[in-house]
Amino acid sequence: MDRLVQLWGASGLAQMNIGSAVMLGIALLLLYLAIHRRFEPLLLVPIGFGGLLANIPGAGLAYSALDKALHGANAELLAALGALLSSAADPASIAAALEVAPEALHFQALQLARDTGLSDGMLYSFYSVAIGSGVAPLVIFMGVGAMTDFGPLLANPRTLLLGAAAQFGIFATVLGAVGLTSLGITDFSLAQSAAIGIIGGADGPTAIYVSSILAPDLLGAIAVAAYSYMALVPLIQPPIMRALTTSAERQIVMVQLREVSRREKITFPLMLLILVALLLPDAAPLLGMLCFGNLMRECGVVERLSAAAQNALINITTIFLGLAVGSKLVADKFLDVNTLGILALGIVAFSVGTASGVLLAKLMNRLGGTAINPLIGSAGVSAVPMAARVSNKMGLEEDPHNFLLMHAMGPNVAGVIGSAVAAGVMITLVG
C-alpha cells in the first residue's frame, strides 16, 4: 500500500495545480490553431507541443538543475544553497538572491545542484543551445535571406521607405508599454517594453532574438503573440487598409518593374551589411546572417549551401526553436496581467505598422512621382510573403487585372531589413 501511495504522490495528477492545467489547455489551443486553422503551423506546432511538455507536473523538462532544486525543496540542498548565497534557506529567498548574484556565484549554485544528482531538463537544454546562445534565430534569418529575392526592392528603391514607415509600429508599442506601466496597469521595464515593441515588426525570429537578450522571462508570451498575429495578418490588415484608402486609390495600376541585374543582386547584400553594420554594430548579427543567406542565393556558385539553408537547416532549427520557446510557456511566467498587456500591445503594433505604411504611400503620391498603390504600404510589416499576398488580394478585389504581388514584395522585404535595424537600435539603447 505504501508503494501505491508513493507512486501516486510521484504522478503528475497528484502534483497538478490550476496553473499547470490552464497552461496545458493553452498549449492544446495553440496546437488546434496550428493544425485545424493553419495559423503559422511550422512554429505553433512545436511551440504548442513544447508547452505541453513544459507543463507536465513533476517532469521538470523546462527547468535547470537549480530550478529543480528550488521546486523540490530538499532541505539539505536548500541549506547549502542558502549558505552559498548568504540568504535564508527557503526557495523564495534563494531565488531572490540568485537574481542579483554575480554570474560566477550563479554557476557555483548550479554546480552544487548538479552534484546532488539533479540534471537539466530536456527543454531547458534545448533553450540554452537554441535561444540562450542566440544561435537559432540567427540561423533562421540566414535561411530567410536564402529564400528572399531583393529584386522588387532594387527595381523600385522608393519602397524601402514604405518598409521603414511600417516600423513605426515598433516604437509606438514601446511607448504604449511604458504608458501602461506608468498607469500601474502592467509592470514592464524599459528593456521589456523594447522587446514587446519588436512584435510590431511582424518578424518572429527577430522578436525571439531581441526577447532572449532584453526580456527572457517574457519570451514565451512575446513569441506566441508575434506568431499568432502574423498568422492573423489576413484578418487584421484589410479593415485598416480599406479605412485609410479610397476605391480609386486601391485601383491605381503600378508600372512594370524593371529587370534587376545579377551584379546588383550580388552587390546589394554586401553594401547593405557594410553600411548598416558600420553605423549600428548591434544590428550586425541579424542583418549579417540575412545578407549572408541572400549572397549564397544570388552568387550562383554555392547552390548546395543555399539549398541547405533554405530547406533542411532552417527546418531542423525551427523544430528546436519552437520547442525551446514552448519551454517558456509555464504558469508562473505566462499567467499574469503582463501577458494580457503583451497581447493587447501586439495588436496595436500590427495596426500602427500597417497604417503607417499605407499613409506614407498616400503621402508619396501627393508629393508627386510615379504613382504608388497605397495597398502595398501595408506590406511593410515583414510578414513575408503573407502581407504582400494580402495587398495583392485586395488590389484584385478592386480590379481583377491589377496584380500587385511583385510590387508589394519590395516593401515586404524592406520590412525584414527594417525590423533587423530596429532590433539593433533597441539593443543598443536599452540592452
User: End-to-end alpha-carbon separation of the chain, Å?
Assistant: 56
Could you list the mean pLDDT of each consecutive 10-residue stretch along the chain, which spans 431 residues? 68 80 93 89 92 91 89 81 87 86 86 88 94 92 95 93 90 90 90 91 88 90 85 88 95 90 96 93 95 96 97 96 91 84 88 94 90 94 87 94 93 93 92 74
pTM: 0.89
CA-to-CA distance for 154 and 298, rounded, in angstroms?
13
Chain segment 260-283, per-residue pLDDT in tens: 999 999 999 999 999 999 999 999
* DSSP secondary structure code for residue 257 in this structure: P
Angle at 271 between CA 265 and CA 272, to 5 degrees: 90
CA-to-CA distance for 367 and 116, rounded, in angstroms?
71
Alpha carbon of residue 374 to chain centroid: 27
3-state helix, strand, coil in the chain (%, to 5): 75, 0, 25
* CB-based contact 22:300 (threshold 8 Å): no
The CA R_g of the chain, rounded to the nearest whole Å, is: 24
Chain segment 375-422, per-residue pLDDT in tens: 999 999 888 888 999 999 999 999 999 999 999 999 999 999 999 999
For residue 126, which of 289, 285, 326 has the smallest C-alpha distance?
326
pLDDT of residue 1: 66
Residue recorded with cell 541547405 = 308
CA-to-CA distance for 200 and 423, rounded, in angstroms?
11
Average pLDDT, the chain: 90
Chain segment 309-335, per-residue pLDDT in tens: 999 999 999 999 999 999 988 888 888
pLDDT of residue 16: 85
CA-CA distances (angstroms) from residue 193 to 204, 346, 372, 394?
A: 17, 11, 34, 33
